[in-house]
Amino acid sequence: MSLMQLIYASTPFGFDNPTLNQILSVARRNNARDDITGALICRADLYLQLLEGPRAAVTATFHKILADDRHLDVVLIACGDIKTRMFPKWDMKDDPATSWMWTQEQVAAGAIEHTSDEDVRVVFTRLLSES
């Protein structure tokens, strides 16, 4: 089976804890069903998500995210084949990583568009090492 990894960022619309809990609950149920694993780093001004699994399932999930009005300004950061999963035990790990990333001003100024794939993977690697 061919595995892929996809990383994207978006701006949350209507961010609050009940909305986030609902997103995570549905994502975990659907991801377990579809053999997708990954992590979601979330703040009031930023979602940064890594999805990994079978190509067709990850692509279908990303298309659902693109159509979801809770995600604004979706930016595809990285997408490609992988040999092994980074988060094999997590249907969807979540973390509010407020100290790892950019300030709200940096996000507003376009930090996502000016970062490399590798810099974003480092953020997820740190999240994994603290799990």
First to last CA, the chain: 27
Structural domains in the chain (count): 1
What CATH code is carried by the domain that includes residue 84? 3.30.70.100
Expressed as residue numbers, the domain containing 19 is 3-129
Say which DSSP state 115 is in.
S
Quote the CA–CA distance of 90 and 38 in Å, as a whole number.
6
Quote the CA–CA distance of 112 and 14 in Å, as a whole number.
20
For residue 59, what pLDDT is reported? 97
H or E segment to which residue 64 belongs? helix 55-67
Q: Quick one: how far is CA 69 from the chain centroid?
A: 16
- pLDDT tens figures, 68-123: 888 889 999 999 999 999 999 998 887 765 556 777 788 888 888 888 888 888 88
For residue 61, what pLDDT is reported? 96
Positive or negative, the CA dihedral 67, 68, 72, 77 is negative
